[in-house]
Amino acid sequence: DDFRLKGPEGTHTCLVYKPMRETLLIFQHRVPNQRLPLPLFKFFTLFDNPKGIFINKQIPGKDPLLTRSRLSVVDIKDDNTMVIIENDRVLENFIAAQRRNVPSKHTSKETDRAIYISQDDLGPLRGSRLLPQLGDFDLAFPSLAGEQGHLSAVQSHRYRRPEVLLCVPWSYSADIWNLGLLVRLPYLPP
């Protein structure tokens, strides 16, 4: 789902997701040597997986949202990729624990609003349906007409593709570059 929010800089489209676990970056700290086990890695990345998991969904033309909106995400990386909740009991148990242990909060003096500390640990893993999902589109660029490419300096330094470094026009293929690095990084030596 999505909704529009008007602000001082214009109208922004906001995406609504189901609750998710931590980012892939934090998730990697849960596994031995901070490297995804091969079966989980394959499950995340197989193109022919019937659920079209992760890579299949990030390729332009495969994901309805990206195709319909003609977006280049340009910021596909491990700290913008969330792991979905693998079992309904995870969220139920987390909510029950939060009710038992009052979460830490800060009350703003200006607005008198309670601000709660973000929780990125929803407890132990429960099952193997740990699927990644891209969760941040704040740097997305619309595709340009024809074969034109963007010249903006985008992407985190460690994910920056050669065209961006050389100030050469780029397009949605920047996403393919980021995706390739994201898939490769869990297996690079520490």
- The verdict on residue 100 lying in a domain is no
Predicted local confidence at residue 81, as pLDDT: 80
- The verdict on residue 144 lying in a domain is yes
Whether the per-residue pLDDT at 70 is higher than 50: the answer is yes
Predicted local confidence at residue 61, as pLDDT: 47
Using 50, 70 and 90 to split pLDDT, how confident is the model at 88?
A: confident
Domain carrying residue 163: 19-86+125-187
Predicted local confidence at residue 44, as pLDDT: 62
Q: Amino acid letter at 165? A: L
Q: Of 173, 144, 134, 142, which Cα lies nearest the Cα of 15? A: 134
Helix (H, G, I), strand (E, B) or coil at 119: coil
- The verdict on residue 150 lying in a domain is yes
- The verdict on residue 102 lying in a domain is no
- Measured distance CA(172)–CA(113) in Å, rounded: 41
Q: pLDDT above 90 covers what percent of the chain?
A: 2
Specify the residue for token string 């709660």: 116
- The verdict on residue 146 lying in a domain is yes
- The verdict on residue 105 lying in a domain is no
Using 50, 70 and 90 to split pLDDT, how confident is the model at 47?
A: very low
Q: Of 86, 80, 61, 81, which Cα lies nearest the Cα of 71? A: 61
Between CA 139 and CA 154, with CA 62 as vertex, the angle to 5 degrees is 20
Residues 116-135 have a mean pLDDT of 78
Catalogue the E-assigned strands of the chain: 2-7, 10-15, 20-23, 71-72, 81-84, 105-107, 114-116, 132-134, 141-142
Report strand pairing: 2-7 vs 105-107: unpaired
- CATH code of residue 178: 1.10.510.10
Structural domains in the chain (count): 1
Q: Each residue of 142-171: pLDDT tens digit?
A: 666 665 666 676 777 777 778 778 887 777
- The verdict on residue 101 lying in a domain is no
Predicted local confidence at residue 127, as pLDDT: 75
Whether the per-residue pLDDT at 46 is higher than 60: the answer is no
Q: Each residue of 8-45: pLDDT tens digit?
A: 888 887 878 888 888 888 887 877 777 776 666 666 66
Whether the per-residue pLDDT at 48 is higher than 50: the answer is no
Predicted local confidence at residue 188, as pLDDT: 52
Q: Each residue of 89-100: pLDDT tens digit?
A: 998 998 898 888
Predicted local confidence at residue 42, as pLDDT: 65
- The verdict on residue 65 lying in a domain is yes
Calculate the average pLDDT of the chain: 73
Considering just the CA atoms, what is the radius of gyration of the chain in Å? 19
Helix (H, G, I), strand (E, B) or coil at 155: coil
Report strand pairing: 81-84 vs 132-134: antiparallel
Using 50, 70 and 90 to split pLDDT, how confident is the model at 71?
A: low
